[in-house]
Amino acid sequence: MIIDEVTITVEAGAGGDGCLSFRREKYVPRGGPDGGNGGKGGDIFLESRTDVNTLVDFLYRPIYKAHHGGHGKGKNQHGKDAEAITIRVPIGTLVWNENQELVVDMKENGMKFLIAKGGRGGRGNTTFATSTQQAPRLAERGEPGEIKTLRLELRLLADVGIVGFPNAGKSTLLSRVTHAHPKIADYPFTTLEPQLGVVKLSENRSFVLADVPGLIDGASQGKGLGVRFLRHLERTKILLHLIDLSTLESYPELTKRIKTIQKELKQHSVKFQKIPQLIILTKTDSAANKEFPKWMNRLKTKKIKTMSVSAVTGQGLNQLLEETWSLLSETKKKEIAEKSLKPKKVVYETQIRFQVKKDDKLFYVTGTEIKKWVAMTNFGSRDALERFQKIMQRMGVVRELKNQGVSEGDTVVCDGQELTFRSEELGVENDF
Ligand SMILES: Nc1nc2c(ncn2[C@@H]2O[C@H](COP(=O)(O)OP(=O)(O)OP(=O)(O)O)[C@@H](O)[C@H]2O)c(=O)[nH]1
Ligand SMILES: [Mg+2]
């Protein structure tokens, strides 16, 4: 299996800061607050596309940054929202986070996934005015955007699989139509593990072909090697079923061989019944019985698509690739039509709100939300500090601190910001 891998960093934009300002007009003493809100920071999306085939571009451009939101201004002017950016990835890209957890499998065409969320704009002081607090000296800073380091892994999914008995000429076919160099020999079980190659018909017409070890009667019960690798073919869209003419004497033998392989596939997984199959008679140059064109006609009357090739003379190879391509395009179109009926998914991750840990005399409060509120608070302002405390209370941080035995004067470190646990002095109703 060809696996392509890159590491990238995505940095969503921070929200713009909210503005702290008061109206100043002639003859209007003590004008009210008029600080506008900051704009939203830019989000970063991943989108799976059929027109992107590799991860190579990411090697040259591993960092993606969205813009920050504009800052709020006086006269209630809000900052501008930053535009989202979309990173295009090939279909079949797996996205892993720093903890090696799978974030998303971009396996469907046109799937859009919010990978890094832009920060919310900070609120200006106008927002904080209430009937009791008419001149708030409080404005939020913008929320930082999410920053993530991601590992993208492309599992090149094979579009077309080759199946058949050992020695049918599977690897030879792969070597003739792609740049792959599989081992080829005139004894069974030459191929020991799956081989992939890319067939390029023209600039925009290419597909991935997979060759797996040969199957034998009883393979689904574990005989031979082939069955171990059949799972690699489960996601293919078309199967080329190869049959060796050089050892084929009669029509009944042909149908028997076809049925044997089809039975093995079906017993391995019912999924194979839905995958269209092309029957390919191989080694026409050394066919044991020259009557095979008649057999092909008989199969055609049963609506079984049959072709013949010789990897030695090259006979039939082009027709085979063209036929495979048109069948493949048809199958893909059908799939896309079925899928586009469903709404596109945008998935959000859920996170633990906060964590409190006691270490000696210090209490450490961490978590994404805590990080956010610390970044958004201007600790130099008494009003802002008071608000921060209220938020900690609402989130249940205070309750948890108390559970862990916090007392007056203890130091609480919120995401690197040192604060003193004190109640009355700050005049907050309940303790911090
Ligand atoms: N005359 C002739 N011989 C061929 C042709 N295609 C393949 N062969 C020969 O058939 C033998 C088997 O070919 P492989 O491609 O290794 O067969 P395979 O299906 O991959 O076999 P396993 O990997 O063992 O399952 C080799 O000796 C090839 O040279 C052909 O079109 N004409
Ligand atoms: Mg082989």
Do 194 and 337 reside in the same domain of the chain?
yes
More confident residue, 333 or 430: 333
Indicate whether 193 and 94 sit together in one domain.
Answer: no
- Please say if the pLDDT value at position 288 is more than 50: yes
What is the domain count for the chain?
3
DSSP letter at 296 equals: H
With beta carbons less than 8 A apart as the criterion, state whether 147 and 261 touch.
no
Residue 1's pLDDT is 43
Q: What is the pLDDT of residues 195-231, one digit of tens each?
A: 878 898 987 788 989 888 888 777 767 676 656 677 7
Residue 381: per-residue pLDDT: 86
Last residue of a domain, one of 294, 317, 341: 341
Task: Tell me what pLDDT residue 142 has.
Answer: 96
> Is the same domain home to 170 and 146?
no
Tokens of 155: 């599992």
pLDDT range class, residue 26, cuts 50, 70, 90: confident
If asked whether residues 90 and 223 sit together in one domain, one would say no
- Residue 95 tokens, joined: 């996205």
312 lines ligand 1 (CB under 6 A): yes
Residues 68 and 192 in one domain: no
Is there a single domain that holds both residue 134 and residue 181?
Answer: no
- Beta-carbon-side half-sphere exposure of residue 300 (alpha carbons within 13 Å): 9
**317-339 helix and 170-177 helix, angle to the nearest 10 degrees:** 90
Q: How confident is the model at residue 269 (pLDDT cuts 50, 70, 90)?
A: confident
Q: Is residue 417 part of a domain?
A: yes
Do residues 320 and 226 both lie within one domain? yes
Q: Is residue 8 part of a domain?
A: yes
Q: How many Å lie between the centroid of ligand 1 and the Cα of residue 345? A: 46
pLDDT on residue 353: 85
Mean of the pLDDT values across residues 236-243?
Answer: 95
In a domain, 3, yes or no: yes
**Confidence at 423, pLDDT banded by 50, 70, 90:** low
User: Letter for the amino acid at 109?
Assistant: N
Residues 6+ apart with CB under 8 A from 408: 421, 422, 423
For residue 217, the model assigns a pLDDT of 77
Asked which of 281, 306, 341 is the last residue of a domain, the reply is 341
Structure tokens at 17: 């800061």
Interval between CA 286 and ligand 2 midpoint (Å): 18
Among 154, 184, 211, give the residue marking a domain's end.
Answer: 154
Q: Is the CB of 189 under 6 A from ligand 1?
A: yes
CA-based R_g, the chain, Å: 33
CATH number where 402 lies: 3.30.300.350
Average pLDDT of span 124-136: 89
**172 Cβ closer than 6 Å to some ligand 1 atom:** yes
Same domain, 245 and 300: yes
Q: Is 207 helix (H, G, I), strand (E, B) or coil?
A: strand
Instruction: Assess whether 147 and 198 both reside in one domain.
Output: no
Q: Is residue 348 part of a domain?
A: no
Residue with tokens 């008029």: 34
Task: Identify which of 4, 110, 14 has the alpha carbon closest to the alpha carbon of residue 71.
Answer: 14
Rounded distance between C-alpha atoms, residue 201 and residue 322, angstroms: 8
Q: Which among 176, 184, 286 is the best mutation to test ligand 1's pocket, defined by most ligand atoms within 8 Å of the CB? A: 184
Q: Are residues 63 and 191 in the same domain?
A: no
Q: What is the rounded average pLDDT of the residues 254-268? A: 92
Closest CA to 92 of 111, 74, 118: 111
CATH number at 263 reads 3.40.50.300
Residue 292 near residue 245 (C-beta atoms within 8 A) = yes
Most confident of 190-199, 237-246, 345-354: 237-246
**Tokens of residue 170, six digits:** 């599977």
Question: Is 346 within the bounds of a domain?
Answer: no
Q: Which two tokens stand for residue 33?
A: 């607050």
Nearest residue to 411 (alpha-carbon basis) of 341, 364, 355, 349: 364
CATH of the domain at 75: 2.70.210.12
Please tell me which residue, 360 or 291, carries the higher pLDDT value. 291
Alpha helices in 127-278 (DSSP H): 170-177, 251-268
In the predicted model, what is the mean pLDDT of the chain? 88
Instruction: Give domain status of residue 350, yes or no.
Output: no
**Single pTM value for the model:** 0.58
Query: 98 pLDDT band (50/70/90 cuts)?
Result: very high
Does residue 368 lie in a domain region? yes
Q: How far apart are CA 88 and CA 111, in angstroms?
A: 10
User: Is 183 found in the same domain as 65?
Assistant: no
Q: Does residue 38 sit within a domain? A: yes
Q: Which residues pair with 225 in a beta bridge?
A: none
Share of the chain above pLDDT 90, in %: 56
Q: Are residues 104 and 232 in the same domain?
A: no
* Confidence at residue 237, expressed as pLDDT on a 0 to 100 scale: 92
Domain that holds residue 46: 1-154
Closest ligand to C-alpha of residue 184 is 1
pLDDT, residue 165, reads 92
The alpha carbon of 186 and the centre of ligand 1 are apart by a number of angstroms equal to 6
